[in-house]
């Protein structure tokens, strides 16, 4: 099992996948291998569909966890193992759509007024709220990324390794 997981890790590193994605896929694959009752080389699409049914019906895993498993399995069988059956037939679950909770002006004012006691906390919350940055992007900001003359922040290597300006 460790050889298969190492092969998966190396394949993901070669393709420059994010460290978090790599560790998630490895954990998912490890879970699949421990529940597998036959050699990995003899697994068929039917075996995977039975396992998916078990995940949804018995284990009742979340939608996001289920789809992470699908992505990890697709990657392993397609990119690492190169199976001869169509990997894209491993189904995803249908996405759920929820409207986000939106704060009104009074709630935003109240939140920021409580944070005013600590200038650092106020700066963090005000920046997050006004720019829409992700927390990891805010943590990685440097003073040189701030263009106060044009009111622009330069986000370097944000989600999916992309640079952007806000």
**Complete domains list, the chain, with CATH:** 2-89 (1.10.150.130), 105-165 (no CATH)
At 58, list the tokens. Answer: 């018995």
Note the pLDDT of residue 89.
67
What single-letter DSSP state applies at residue 101? P
* Averages of pLDDT over each 10 residues, the chain, 166 residues: 85 90 90 80 82 84 85 86 71 76 89 89 88 85 88 83 83
pTM of the model: 0.58
The whole-number pLDDT of residue 10 equals 92
- DSSP H stretches of helix in the chain: 2-14, 19-35, 45-54, 63-75, 105-115, 119-131, 135-139
């Amino acid at each position: 099992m460790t050889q298969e997981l190492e092969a998966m890790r190396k394949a993901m590193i070669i393709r420059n996948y994010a460290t978090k994605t790599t560790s998630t896929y490895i954990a998912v694959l490890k879970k699949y291998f421990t529940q597998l009752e036959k050699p990995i080389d003899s697994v068929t699409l039917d075996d995977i569909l039975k396992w998916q049914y078990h995940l949804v019906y018995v284990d009742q895993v979340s939608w996001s966890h289920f789809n992470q498993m699908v992505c990890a399995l697709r990657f392993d069988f397609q990119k690492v193992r190169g199976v001869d059956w169509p990997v894209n037939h491993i189904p995803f679950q249908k996405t759920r759509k929820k409207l986000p909770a939106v704060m009104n002006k009074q709630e935003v004012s109240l939140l920021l007024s409580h944070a005013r006691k600590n200038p650092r906390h106020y700066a963090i919350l005000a920046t997050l709220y006004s720019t829409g940055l992700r927390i990891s992007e805010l943590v990685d900001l440097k003073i040189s990324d701030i263009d106060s003359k044009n009111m622009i922040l330069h986000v370097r290597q944000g989600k999916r390794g992309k640079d952007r300006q806000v």
